[in-house]
Structure 1
């Protein structure tokens, strides 16, 4: 078996959140050694470059494209899967080798990637997002029209539920359809027709049922949540808070104590504000007003409170393939560059239950590596400096160009 050594690079140590010079030896898709002066059959010269673990985006929507959600609702049903394949390729080329799809992708997309039919990051899928009647995921609009951005199909069950019994049945249906994680909206949303992020959704008995049923199936719950909705989600045992606008100190203290992750998706707010300012989004005034809701200091206070933070972008609200912009935003919101890279590597892997195989450059882990020009701790413009991407030891991007399978 061929042993490949990545030599002369500056490695990011995800555990220490620092960098240093070392070689990485890879064989049969796995990292087998890290150190100095390693030998191998093939050498990859990494001089002048940083070597990172494959990045992980813990919040994407691969079947969605762009910020014009009203246009998306008028597209042919199956187009989402073809666009999804393109979005998967763009995400992988950005150095993101693993994602958690937060609604949209179904089991078939995950299996297609696993079988090598489609180039893209390995995936965990949630299929869709549990919503109460009138909640963030309810497709009903005041006009009495239904505009469902995630219409149900055999691989994506309907998810508007009320009461613990409906919750129990629907969580089981999602698991049956292949969900790796259960997603819920315990707060209103920005781009839906109903209440904004400050309004809580679902009662404690409903959220507790989600967590119980997910755990019974070996799954966990990720919660689209802000303000009071986040507090209810944390109180009832979810694993992560997505977005997390306007979290108070009590909620952050509970998250730190219980080890509940925050996935801030700062890119989504940036993307929405830019689209609104440029006229790319034609939205009702009440939705445009909600877009401005999310600017606060929650990430800084979460870091100070000791809340674990994982990288997630909410792409395509900021474009697929521009995922590493999130690292810059995390630094702007109070994380050090090493902490931001940790959020996009080992922390995200641990959130997703993949820490034993992914997230750091250590023997016994999958050989997902990203080579970037210059200092890896300089996260400004890092996405534009991705030189090569390796997934399970195979080059999928080299010199900035995709590498066909089998090459």
Structure 2
């Protein structure tokens, strides 16, 4: 068995949220030792570099490269899976070795990655997002046209449901189709045709049914949620709040007490505004919702309230492959750089239930490693400083000088 030593790098220790120089020994894809002067059969020279655990993005849409409904409606149905493969490769090259796909990717994509058929991050998939009639995920538009960013297929069930019993059956269908997490919209959204973030979707008995059925299958619920919809999701047992605008103090206090995660997807707002500036067309009511969201301070107040934060981008609203811009935005909104990195490593791993094997550089964990130029605690332009990405100890992006010892 080959023993590879990553020598001379400065490691980010997610447990202590600090960095120090150390070597890493890897065998058969697992970290077996961390310390000084380690020996091995093969050496990777990391002198002058930082080493991070493989990073997480807890909110992506890999089968989508834009939100242009008219353009997507004219594309061949199967093209989305090739888009997904391309976006998986871009995400991996950005140092993100694990993702939670928040609607779009199906079980086949996850299995293809697990079998090494296509390069990409490890994946948890939600398949699609539960929506009430007229809710954020309902593809019906006022013109009476149906324009669906994520049209149903055998591996991605339709998701418009009303009432606890419809929800019970739909969650079971999603589980049957291979969902690793159940996603729901418990409020309106910015770019949908329906109501804005201030409108709550689904009632307590409906959300409780989702959580109960997900729990019975060993899964969690992630909630696209703002305002009163976020409060309802927290009250009824959701694991995480995605986006999370208009969160009042009571909601934040409940999230901190119950350890409900916030995945703020700050870069999605940047991406939407850039899209508008570049001339992309949105209806006036959508533009108004985007404008109203710009000054929201929920993320900063969540940090002050002690709410756990995990990194997510909502790519492609901000492009796939530029995921690490989110780290800079997390710092701008109240986190220290070391805490922003924690949100993208051990915190994210805990959210996804993977912290026993991923999220930090320590013996007994998978050798997902990201080698970067310079100080690993410096998150500014970190995405442009990626030198190499390793998954299970195998180089999957970039290259470093190696030598036999």
- Give the unaligned 5+ runs of structure 1: 401-407
Task: Give the drift of 1:11.
Answer: 0.3
2:3 alignment partner in structure 1: 3
Cα distance between partner residues in 2 of 1:69 and 1:22: 49
Aligned to 1:351: 351
2:198 counterpart of 1:198: yes
Q: For the residues of structure 2 that align with 1:123 and 1:69, how far apart are their CA atoms?
A: 25
Alignment of 1:325-404 (within 5 A): 325-399=325-399
* Deviations 1:282-301, CA, capped at 9 Å, x for gaps: 11111111112333111111
**Per the alignment, in what secondary structure is the counterpart of residue 329 of structure 1?**
helix
Q: Distance in 1 between matches of 2:165 and 2:396?
A: 45
Task: Give yes or no for the alignment of 1:225 onto 2:228.
Answer: no
- Any unmatched runs of 5+ in structure 2? 401-405
Cα-to-partner distance string for 1:322-365 (whole Å, 9 max, x where unaligned): 00000000001010000000000000000000000000001000
Shift of 1:76: 1.2
Q: Report the Cα distance in structure 1 between the residues aligned to 2:240 and 2:74, rounded to whole angstroms.
A: 32
Q: Distance in 1 between matches of 2:297 and 2:13?
A: 28
Instruction: Write the distance in 2 (CA, Å) between the matches of 1:60 and 1:347.
Output: 17
CA distance in 1, matches of 2:73, 2:101: 19
The 5 A counterparts of 1:260-275 are 260-275=260-275
- In structure 1, the partner of 2:282 is 283
Cα distance in 2 for partners of 1:352, 1:69 equals 30
Give the conservation status (yes or no) of the 8 Å contact 1:227–1:248: yes
- Counterpart contact for 1:67–1:272, Cα < 8 Å: no
Please report how far the alpha carbon of residue 187 of structure 1 lies from its aligned counterpart in structure 2 after TM superposition: 0.6
Q: Structure 1, residues 181-221: CA drift from partner, whole Å, max 9, x if none?
A: 00000010111100011110000000000000000000010
Contact 2:69-2:148 within 8 A present in 1 as well: no
Q: Which residue of 2 aligns with 1:172?
A: 172
- Specify the SS of the correspondent of 2:363: coil
Counterpart residue number, 2:145: 145
Deviation at 1:278, TM superposition (A): 1.5
SS at match of 2:184: strand
In 1, the alpha carbon distance for the partners of 2:190 and 2:252 equals 22
Distance 1:399 1:271 in 2: 30
TM-fit CA distance, 1:232: 0.3
String of CA shifts for 1:350-388, please: whole Å, max 9, x gaps.
000000000000100000000000111111100000000
Match of 2:97 in 1: 97
Q: Judge conservation of contact 1:106–1:125 (CA < 8 Å) in 2.
A: yes
Number of residue-to-residue matches in the alignment: 399
- Mapped to 2, the partners of 1:374 and 1:323 lie a distance apart of 19
1:247 match: secondary structure: coil
CA distance in 1: counterparts of 2:332 and 2:70, whole angstroms: 31
Query: Which residue number in structure 2 is paired with residue 405 of structure 1?
Result: none
Worse overlay, 292-301 or 99-108: 292-301
SS of structure 1 residue aligned to 2:175: helix
Aligned residue for 1:97, secondary structure, equals: strand
TM-score normalised by length of structure 2? 0.97
Indicate if the aligned counterparts of 2:49 and 2:372 stay in contact, CA closer than 8 A. yes
TM-score calculated relative to the size of structure 1: 0.97
Partner of 2:403: none
The one-character-per-residue Cα deviations of 1:378-405 (angstroms, maximum 9, x if unpaired) are 11100000000000110001249xxxxx
RMSD over equivalenced CA pairs, Å: 0.9
Alignment of 1:245-260 (within 5 A): 245-260=245-260
Taking the aligned partners of 2:56 and 2:175, their CA distance within structure 1 comes to 23
Contact 2:93–2:398 (Cα < 8 Å) also in 1: no
Q: State the distance in 2 between where 1:214 and 1:230 align.
A: 18
